[in-house]
A and B are shown apart, each in its own frame.
Chain A
Amino acid sequence: MRSQLWGLYVREVLRTFRNPFVILITLVQPFMWLAFFGSSFNNLAAASGKFGAGSYFGYLLPGVLSTSMLSVGMFGSMSTIQDKRFGFMKRILITPTSKETIFLSKALGSATRGLVQVPVMIAAAVVFGVAFPLTPLEWVGWVFGLLLLAIGFSSLFLAITAPSTDWQTPGVVSNFITMPLMFASASLFPSTFFPSWMQAISGVNPITFSATLGRSFLLGTSVDWWNLGYLAIFAGAMLSLGYIVSARWLKVE
């Protein structure tokens, strides 16, 4: 299985990063969040005094990085549907490769694509004046949390779209999942201002846990490593779900 997983994972990563448009959109989109959304809210956030001691950019960065991990899930699903439509899934499966291995390669490929955004976003945040007083352990913890979040969401997307061969499905699923999970989380604003039903969603939303973890490192507030544990449980649960669903329902063509 290792040989097949490595082959398919490398294929996934190379295909992504050989497409200049994919690189452009992967890198520019989170940057634009920081530039436009961050700039528009910076003064308001400072006036309210509810976003911590630093600028809103420092508050926003862990949140935007977390929501970016949500959107990469869609690309793994699109890549899978492309393989089904072009017959490549058959080419893979007429070798000793299992459907579960295909699923894992797609989930890890998408997660890698998500993580590439991290250094670019951090570089952009430096431009916007954000300081990074993190210890090496905190850096590892933050990035590992984002990796777990990306694996979790890409697994969830792949599980939902496994039986589909329709190009439109990943977009539809993305629209259905992205907006509620993005806004019902602490990624952009503190959830203390939410109505109670949204607070309930935010309280179990893994984006909240990832954003809170990153923020605690970046803003120097008290660090709760349980956030990382929760993300690990989320990633493990979604990986298991995707693994089981793919073995049973991953359509070949």
Chain B
Amino acid sequence: MSAPAIVVNNLSKRYGNAHGVLALDRVTLSIGAGTVFGLMGPNGAGKTTLIKVLTGISDITSGTASVAGFEVQKESLQVRARIGWVAAEVILDDDFSAWENLWLQARLQDLKDWEERATHLLQYFGLADRKDDKVSHFSTGMRKKLEIALALLHQPLVIFMDEPTIGLDVATRRMLWDIVTGIHKEFGVTVLLTTHYIEEADALCDRIAIIDEGRIIAEGTPSELKSRVRADIVQLETSQPLEATVLSRIPGVQEVRSQGNEWVIQVTASDEFLPRLFASVNTEAIRRISVEKPSLETVFLQLTGHRIAPEEPMHDIRKFYAQMRRARS
């Protein structure tokens, strides 16, 4: 692996006083230069806090962190001259044109000869013919592109992207994936992105750290992480209470976890497990059942016992039809 662009050592961040929320709990990470690194976890896991700490927006409670070879707290100015930042919500000056936004960014980064690079970036992102238009007239995709151009203007070593595709439609999200892959190749920049979209982390990242409740619970390449789960995950919801031993006794069951009448069962092979399950429990009592093959989602589920993103409210088709019937009557 190449020399690390970001090193985080035993880093904790607590908001407020000693009884405040512990947003980061002894996080240790090493992110190689020139990689696309994903920080994957549910909302509130500590992803944004880690970005705030690494960009110097938030203080560190304990531990150390360095970015591009400089300590985040003691050498904040040097760090901030070498990083770019793309916000979850697009943050631009709407009263300014694209070119004026670039001019301001050049001023803030104290750049002397920035015009040529700015022109190149506008061409790269297909915004050259709109450079004098007010940003408030831009589409979401164009605004996002301009924001990334601003982040790249001073040739940073590291770019932080906080939930870069949150709230975007599918087409714009795909476009952004292409951009992340493209700028990584074209500009050789290290990208640290946070996401709670499994497929995004899988598609974009060379390496992924899974974060939950402020702690890094696993780290590796997507395929390394997936290979940790040599099992299928069966999720079961019953209408009546069920004895855990009934499930754990079924051959091929590795682990059983429950929350009320909802069960997460880790099995060696689901196609062998399901007939045995139906033979062991009253099938009338089964309200819902689903099977998942190894994925980053099942890695997370296996590690934490819960999912990254809350399930869609209409996931259960029977609940959906029941609601539809009630709505019609």
Interface set of A (CB-CB < 8 Å, partner B): 3-4, 6-8, 10-11, 14-15, 18-19, 86-88, 90-97, 252
Contact = CB atoms under 8 A, between A and B. Distances in A.
A7 B104 contact: yes
Interface of A is mostly: helix
A19 B85 CA distance: 28
A90 B106 CA distance: 16
Contact of A252 (B57, B105, B160): B57
B83 A94 contact: yes
A36 B267 CA distance: 84
B107 A87 contact: no
A252 B80 CA distance: 15
A156 B121 CA distance: 41
A94 B55 contact: yes
Contacts of A11: 93, 96, 104
B91 A87 contact: yes
B323 interface: no
A96 B109 contact: yes
Contacts of B32: none
B80 A7 contact: no
A234 to B, nearest CB: 30
Interface in B170-201: none
Given A90-B87, A91-B85, A91-B87, A96 B95 contact: no
Give 4 nearest A-B pairs by CB, closest first. A7-B107, A95-B108, A3-B110, A87-B91
Nearest to A92: B108
A4 B154 CA distance: 14
A51 to B, nearest CB: 43
Q: Which of B96, B103, B108, B109 has the most chain A CB atoms inside 10 A of its CB?
A: B108
24 contacts: A3-B108, A4-B107, A6-B107, A7-B107, A7-B108, A8-B108, A10-B104, A11-B93, A14-B96, A15-B93, A15-B95, A19-B95, A87-B89, A87-B91, A88-B91, A90-B57, A91-B87, A94-B80, A95-B80, A95-B108, A96-B81, A96-B109, A96-B110, A252-B57
